Amino acid sequence: MTNAHDGAASRARAALVTGGARGIGREVAARLQQAGWRVAIADIALPSADELAEDPRLATMFAVRMDVSDSESVRQAVDSVVAEFHGLDGLVNAAGYNRHEPVAESQDSTWSELFEVHLGGTLRCCRSAFPALRDSQRGVVVNFSSVAGRRGRPNRGPYSAAKAGIEALTRTTAIEWAPHRIRVNAVVPGWINTRLVQANLAAGRSDLSSLLHAIPMARLGEPDEVAKVVAFLMSDESSYMTGQSLVVDGGALINGNW
């Protein structure tokens, strides 16, 4: 007798990484591909020819435009990935961005856009991927939270609230999907040396010396150091983990130096 699991087990595992064109998402996609996954990247702006020339790894992945704040865009993009790979076994929800505003001056649009991208985007991608992940019988999801969801910093109200919500959503989804053999976990990056963090430092929205003072390891993390943890959560090495959030922050959250 054959079932969906037999079909899924006989092909290489396939993963979709949202926000996979740049930053940490790109490193996650590359790391998963290195680990033997067939990888699709989804992003609102796919790599240009110049970016492809700069990082040839991107040209080896199926790439699809996706606006995670738009349910139809997510549905169509996920469907195209499932059709391309004849199934889907893994989902990494890494799409996101930030906008800095103090709470007292916050715009409704900032609140709604950040929530739609981070929390709503995670929900939409999980929802659209669920049938394929269930059919896989070895489905796995990794969501992206942030230390900002656990630790207060000024001007990050909507971002912090949305990231905290992602950890709550991760736990709920993990419980609902465990009977379908889908594991759902989250990664909680600290300050990572991405283009966005560099832009914040350059614009004076963050101060490097005070950041380093708060990080016991006294350095920013590298995108690949987060990608390695995501790859672990996506792998069978974490086969008895679900509903968990793994912090990758050089010790910032456990630091008593305040």
Partner 1 sequence: MPAVNKVLVLRPASRPVPSAAGTPPIAMPGLRRVRTHDVLSAVTRPHAPSAPLPVGGVDELWTDAAPPASLALVRGAYGDEPLVQVSAVREAVVFARPHPDDADLTRRLSLLQRQAGLSRAAFSRYWEQVHAPLTHCHRHVARYVQNHVLDTEGADAASAGAFDGMAEFEVGDVQGMESDYLTPEGLRMRQDVARFAATVSTYWVRTREWRLPA
Residues that bind partner 1 (CB under 8 A): 45-50, 53, 59-65, 67, 70, 72-73, 76-77, 79-80, 83-84
Judged by beta carbon, residue 61 or residue 142, the one nearer partner 1 is 61
Which residues, including other chains, have CB under 8 Å from residue 155's CB and lie 6 or more apart? 100, 101, 102, 205
1: exposed, middle or buried (Cβ count in 10 Å: 0-12, 13-18, 19+): exposed
Helix or strand holding residue 82 (H, E) = helix 71-85
Residue (67 or 135) nearer to partner 1, CB:
67
CA dihedral 139, 243, 64, 19 (to 10 degrees): -150
Could you tell me which residues are beta bridge partners of residue 15?
39, 90
Shortest distance in whole angstroms from residue 77 CB to partner 1 = 7
Shortest Cβ 167–partner 1 spacing (Å): 30
Among all residues, which ones are annotated catalytic? 159
CB of 213 to partner 1, least distance (A): 31
Residue 52 or 201: the one with the smaller Cβ distance to partner 1 is: 52
Q: Which residue shows structure tokens 């699709």?
A: 40
